Amino acid sequence: MKYIRLAMIVIMIIFVSNSYNLAQADSYSHTIEVFRESPGVQPFFENAYGYAVFPTVGKGGIGIGGAYGKGRVYRGGVVTGTTSLTKATIGFQFGGEAFSEIIFFQDKRAYDEFTRGNFEFDAAASAVAILSGAQAYYTKGMAVFVHTKDGLMYEAPAREAQAIGGQKFSFKAQ
């Protein structure tokens, strides 16, 4: 049993490191285009004050998990700084995946809140998968969309013993 658990941890470490390498090769403009092509996301590009883009976020876990990705923050189509996303979770979960994420800021207040340096989404914050066709709405001035790229991750549904955690973001102005 110990060997199986150790093997799974090694596999997840390899997966997360490969996801990081994907992030280096993935361009921000390509990621933005992927999101722009989704009809549910297009209105946010037209009306948002700004947005943060993460071309690749690597995520993995066995009971305890985490995610990490680097991104850029835009206002008026111009890069205003860099950001990083970290997430820690605990609960029933297994596997690893890579995804892209975009966060839209409804107005200056939401943008300023995010770019103050250390911003956190609580465990209740949720994202909308762009392939699902679902519409997202601003919650506390922000709307989050994800696009799954690769991997397989299981987290218990909300009715069961759900994995709990939050996302934390840092920001560095250019």
Tokens for 92, please give them. Answer: 């029933």
Strands (E), 27-77: 50-75
Please report which confidence band the pLDDT of residue 150 belongs to, taking 50, 70 and 90 as the band edges. Answer: confident
Write out the residue range of the structural domain in which residue 109 sits. Answer: 2-173
pTM over 0.85: no
Please, what is the average pLDDT of the chain? 79
- Higher pLDDT: 40 or 152? It is 40
Please report which confidence band the pLDDT of residue 71 belongs to, taking 50, 70 and 90 as the band edges. Answer: very high
> What is the predicted pLDDT for the residue at 165?
62
The maximal CA–CA distance of the chain, rounded, in angstroms, is 53
Interval 9-37 mean pLDDT: 66
Other CB atoms within a 10 A radius of the CB of residue 4 amount to 8
Domain tally for the chain? Answer: 1
Q: Look at residue 51 and give its three-state secondary structure.
A: strand
Integer Cα distance of 55 and 36 in angstroms: 13
Integer Cα distance of 65 and 51 in angstroms: 26
Q: What are phi and psi of 101, to 5 degrees?
A: -140, 145
